[in-house]
Structure 1
């Protein structure tokens, strides 16, 4: 059992996304944290600089279009989340954590869009 609140970290992640708060979002990730995005091809972003490059433009889209929670629940080794952009576009994200209570990895992919390009995750 981890001695930190994984669900609470993801709630903080969602709040940062809603507010467009890049600094807070990046602080939730471990120094070697990574995002693997399969929404428009598969791309891997690792470390604070690459995560900043990835998340910066996305947060602008999230905060202006609307960012909503659809589902959140414990996963096999972390937290699984489904969120929506502009009330319609849905993205599935799985989060894994470091022993220090930081996000170690995020895997995102389109949810309920089939083969469509989600372009927002």
Structure 2
């Protein structure tokens, strides 16, 4: 694994979500990145166009409802993050990275304490 700042990259991801900046968010992902979301059923998205279709409606929700960083910590081979939407709905996301310093994959799911509320991710 290269020596880029994985935690910094995830903080940049949080900042893009807070700002509702789709271009900035997509630039953090590798061209062949994939996202797996288990918030409302299990769905997979591959590549920039599918990630854009996934994130575009969610970012407006995040920026209008409020997006909060709850927990962030390194794990073997990546970073785990827990964030909140509207101060209550908590989502857990796991990030893995390419050697070029881009997000290779993201897996998101409702955090355990709010699993009954669904997910906005």
Tell me if both proteins adopt one fold, taking TM over 0.5 as the criterion.
yes
Query: Structure 2 unaligned runs (5+)?
Result: none
Residue aligning to 1:83: 83
Deviation, structure 1 residue 115: 4.2
Query: What RMSD over aligned residues (CA atoms) do the two structures have, in Å?
Result: 0.9
**Are 2:67 and 1:64 equivalent residues in the alignment?**
no
CA distance in 2, matches of 1:58, 1:96: 21
Q: Which residues in structure 2 correspond to 1:37-56 (within 5 Å)?
A: 37-56=37-56
1:49-74 deviations in Å (ceiling 9; x for gaps): 00000000000000000000000000
| Paired residue secondary structure (2:101) | coil
Deviation, structure 1 residue 76: 1.9
Residue aligning to 2:36: 36
**Are 2:102 and 1:114 equivalent residues in the alignment?**
no
Deviation, structure 1 residue 117: 2.0
Higher helix share: 2
Query: Structure 1 unaligned runs (5+)?
Result: none
1:4-56 deviations in Å (ceiling 9; x for gaps): 00001001000000000000000000000111000000000010000000000
| Paired residue secondary structure (2:26) | helix
CA distance in 1, matches of 2:87, 2:116: 19
TM-score by length of 1: 0.96
Q: Which residues in structure 2 correspond to 1:5-24 (within 5 Å)?
A: 5-24=5-24
